[in-house]
Structure 1
Amino acid sequence: MIKKHTLDNGIRIVMEKIDYVRSASIGIWVNVGSNNENEETNGLSHFIEHMLFKGTKNRKANEIAEEIDSIGGQLNAFTSKECTCFYVKVLDENIKEAVDILSDMFFNPLFSQEEIDKEISVVIEEIKMYEDSPEDLVHDKLSEIIFNDSPMAYNILGTEKNLRTFTKEKVKRFMNENYSPSNTVISIAGNFDEEEFISRIEEKFKDWVNKAAENVHIESNYQRKVVGINKDLEQVHMCIGNKTFGRHDNNYHSLLVLNNLFGGTMSSRIFQEVREKKGLVYSIYSSVTNYSDTGIFSIYAGMGYEQAEDTLRTILKEMSNIKKGNITEEEFLRAKQQIKGNYILSLESTSSRMSAIGRRELLYNEILYPDEIIEAINKVEMKDVLNVAKDLFKTEDLSVTFTGNLSKYPELEDKINKVLGEKYES
């Protein structure tokens, strides 16, 4: 059973007790990500996530790592467009130590300018690493296009130019202005005593004074584009996508089923048609990235330059086939079953259960039980999937990002536009 408790200052605690395990996963979730940034502050949410590991008033950076290692724990964090999470997984006998370390990192970071300068270099290398990954590069560029003119378009890591302006004062100001009890959730899943855990959180977090956290929503101005990035590569890496809806939309689970049968698995349409039957690619898949009130549906493929045109054309033909209703009952049921299976298997991990209840409480202020999610998937009908496909698979709305050796193959963009302009509905 999942329980919720709210501290007097507004921090929400969500708990799922799992008696048969010997571990517990704990997360501190803050509703702050790149969506809360502007051109000047872009990258600060992610940078703060890094800096909280760089020492506190009570522990040096190496002491944080050593204390976690000494109890056999795992400590990590991540930043997304909508939230930042600091989390730890420990044996059930070490929950007290885990809460102590997490709260110390959260409330007592040093933010020394020396460490800030070093971490700026680290994050710049992280940016370069992603830029050297063609797959990441085309996905990031697609996200920029989809979320044009809104903070959702910002790269979570920021830019090298911005990073070089970060100072202790700037970092502290952003954290003080955006971190608040009202936009913080603490989640735990595993074997623990509920009253004891609440008491520990109360002890560490009760003095944090609540304040209104500004969360401005700016609607994106999506206009389809075809964008190429010149890189000296042996292959073309391509991303095709469209803007879609958020997790709270009534069609969310229908979209998951559509994605699964279209390109989410090895038995999916595009994997079978493009790779298995035609041998045009090695890697191809579709994916859904959903946020609170918006999202992206995308297809990625990596192929030789000579195969790019045929690959895109085959993908668009499969979109057309699905819009026409060419989905078999067998593949429809298989897609639903796999989504349910993947979800149920994920419940075997305390980390994923902590993440599920923490994220949902933070972003949607609700608790959903596994049976409710399974029921929602079961309720999806064929006509629901077809309706989503008809709206999502409009060729005139699709953007394409690609990278490769455009100096050697300058005609690639014209070929892509030519394929996009062809008719697939007859």
Structure 2
Amino acid sequence: MYKHERLDNGLDVILVQRESMMSASILFGVKVGSAMENESIAGISHLIEHTVFRGTEKRNSVQIKNPIEEVGGELNAFTSKNFTVYFSKIPTTKVSEAIDILSGLVFEPKFRSEDIEREKSIILEEIASYEDDPGSIVIENLYQHIFDEDFARPVLGYRQTVTNINYDIIIDYYSKFYHPQNVYVVIVGKFNEDKVLNQLNSINWSKNNCSIKSELKSPEIKKEDIKIERTKKDLSSNYIVQGFIAPPKLSKDYYATLILNTFLGSGMSSLLFSKLREESALVYEVASHYEAYPLRGLLLFFALSNDEKIPLLLDKFEEIIIMIQNQNKIGKWFNYGKNRLIGQLTLSMENNLSVALTIFDLYVNYDKIITMEEFINQIEKTEIEDVIRVAKSISQSNKYISLLSPGI
């Protein structure tokens, strides 16, 4: 049963009661991410996400983590281009305490200067690890050349910007975005509904006249063919990403693109794996990824291959793009993608957190509740003609290639 409440304090709450469960998942989603930053404070959304775990008005770092983890639960967070999400998976008996902890992270962080400096140091190490990771490098190189500046920046920010962020800058940014009108709460599992609503409604926050009600952003994508070639020492393989403009999340073709992405690159039975690894032995790893924003979308092919195979690999990519426009050739792949995607979504319904994250994502994008059952039904109604239409549109878009090769 789905229940939607806009509370007196401004919080937007979605409750999904599942009496058969002995656990629940809770998320507090804040509509702020790296796309809301500017170049001088790149990485601040992610830094705030880190720092709040150091202490709140009621709890120190041990009191934040221990009550959840000592009962086998999980407490974590992540930052993306449009969102910062704090979440917990707990036994039913810990729902109230988890809400108290999560609401403290979102609305009552202490932001001690020494904690900010500690987390800055940790994030600088995280940035260094990303700079060593060829998979991260090749995709960030692509983003930097095809997206507008708000989406070209890495979520982690840059060494210099993270180093320069201080307490005053954090407080100013936090005050603008962390308020109930920007926060969504989703709870899925077994819990006492009245108790949860009363607890959430009792949450107070410091009202701020500078508060900003965020709007989801979408990247501007350059409309020209782009190829970026870089080298990195100590690589043994070439890392390649090829991108194509794809339908956005609010498009009628969103569900068809999900199916297309699934049969292209999900699993060892996928088209890319079958054609490029099993049949042609051109790659060691291959996958696809669909990145959908409200008004823009990007379909990506990833592969690892040797130097001499890159030209043939790019030719094979082109052959596959042509192939997926032919109904006679993709019938079995369409069935595979549709059935696999429905199966994945069905299995994800066993996981309260997966359900919560999906409901949150759909709600903030469509401004209405779309249940998991309705979501799956949209996939079931999608026909092969819809996928072919998407494939043809993708084939006519600009092509973006990022290549990272072994260097001397």
TM-score by length of 1: 0.90
Name the CA distance, whole Å, in 2 between partners of 1:331 and 1:219.
30
Cα pair 1:231 1:406 within 8 Å, conserved: yes
1:139-163 CA deviation, whole Å, 9 max, x = no partner?
222223332x241222111111100
Is the deviation greater in 349-358 or in 230-239?
Answer: 349-358
> Where do 1:401-412 residues align within 5 Å?
401-407=402-408
Name the residue aligned to 1:229. Answer: 230
Name the CA distance, whole Å, in 2 between partners of 1:261 and 1:56.
45
Query: Relative to 1, partners in 2 of residues 1:208 and 1:7: Cα closer, same or farther, differing over 3 Å?
Result: farther
Query: Relative to 1, partners in 2 of residues 1:349 and 1:217: Cα closer, same or farther, differing over 3 Å?
Result: closer
Name the residue aligned to 1:355. Answer: 357
**Aligned Cα root-mean-square deviation (Å):** 1.9
Cα pair 1:183 1:362 within 8 Å, conserved: no
Name the residue aligned to 1:79. Answer: 79
> Where do 1:21-420 residues align within 5 Å?
21-147=21-147, 149-205=148-204, 211-215=211-215, 220-222=220-222, 223-232=224-233, 233-394=235-396, 397-407=398-408
Query: Relative to 1, partners in 2 of residues 1:219 and 1:256: Cα closer, same or farther, differing over 3 Å?
Result: closer
1:194-249 CA deviation, whole Å, 9 max, x = no partner?
11100011112477578442548576141331112220111100000022232121
Task: Extract unaligned runs of 5+ from structure 1.
Answer: 408-426
Name the CA distance, whole Å, in 2 between partners of 1:208 and 1:198.
21
Name the CA distance, whole Å, in 2 between partners of 1:218 and 1:14.
25
Name the CA distance, whole Å, in 2 between partners of 1:116 and 1:206.
21
C-alpha displacement of 1:375: 2.0
Name the CA distance, whole Å, in 2 between partners of 1:285 and 1:90.
33
Query: Relative to 1, partners in 2 of residues 1:122 and 1:11: Cα closer, same or farther, differing over 3 Å?
Result: same
Name the CA distance, whole Å, in 1 between partners of 2:228 and 2:331.
37
The SS at the match of 1:327 is helix
Name the CA distance, whole Å, in 2 between partners of 1:367 and 1:399.
35
Query: Relative to 1, partners in 2 of residues 1:321 and 1:221: Cα closer, same or farther, differing over 3 Å?
Result: closer
Query: Relative to 1, partners in 2 of residues 1:221 and 1:318: Cα closer, same or farther, differing over 3 Å?
Result: closer
Cα pair 1:226 1:401 within 8 Å, conserved: yes
Cα pair 1:261 1:268 within 8 Å, conserved: yes
Name the CA distance, whole Å, in 1 between partners of 2:385 and 2:214.
40
Name the CA distance, whole Å, in 2 between partners of 1:206 and 1:198.
17
Letter in 2 for 1:283: E
Cα pair 2:218 2:293 within 8 Å, conserved: no
1:106-158 CA deviation, whole Å, 9 max, x = no partner?
222221222211211211111121222211221222223332x2412221111
The SS at the match of 1:281 is coil
Name the CA distance, whole Å, in 1 between partners of 2:216 and 2:5.
27
Query: Relative to 1, partners in 2 of residues 1:125 and 1:224: Cα closer, same or farther, differing over 3 Å?
Result: farther
Cα pair 1:23 1:92 within 8 Å, conserved: yes
Query: Relative to 1, partners in 2 of residues 1:209 and 1:194: Cα closer, same or farther, differing over 3 Å?
Result: farther
The SS at the match of 1:40 is helix
Cα pair 2:217 2:294 within 8 Å, conserved: no
Letter in 2 for 1:400: I
Is the deviation greater in 354-363 or in 273-282?
Answer: 354-363
Name the residue aligned to 1:414. Answer: none
Query: Relative to 1, partners in 2 of residues 1:218 and 1:294: Cα closer, same or farther, differing over 3 Å?
Result: closer
Name the CA distance, whole Å, in 1 between partners of 2:137 and 2:346.
32
Cα pair 1:7 1:206 within 8 Å, conserved: no
The SS at the match of 1:323 is coil
1:392-421 CA deviation, whole Å, 9 max, x = no partner?
123x711100112245xxxxxxxxxxxxxx
Query: Relative to 1, partners in 2 of residues 1:249 and 1:150: Cα closer, same or farther, differing over 3 Å?
Result: farther
Name the CA distance, whole Å, in 2 between partners of 1:206 and 1:14.
20
Name the residue aligned to 1:2. Answer: 2
> Where do 1:5-16 residues align within 5 Å?
5-16=5-16
Name the residue aligned to 1:416. Answer: none
Name the CA distance, whole Å, in 2 between partners of 1:200 and 1:373.
30
Name the CA distance, whole Å, in 2 between partners of 1:258 and 1:96.
41
Name the CA distance, whole Å, in 2 between partners of 1:299 and 1:219.
19
Identity %: 30
The SS at the match of 1:19 is coil
Letter in 2 for 1:163: V
Query: Relative to 1, partners in 2 of residues 1:326 and 1:319: Cα closer, same or farther, differing over 3 Å?
Result: farther
Query: Relative to 1, partners in 2 of residues 1:128 and 1:378: Cα closer, same or farther, differing over 3 Å?
Result: same
Cα pair 1:9 1:208 within 8 Å, conserved: no
Task: Extract unaligned runs of 5+ from structure 2.
Answer: none
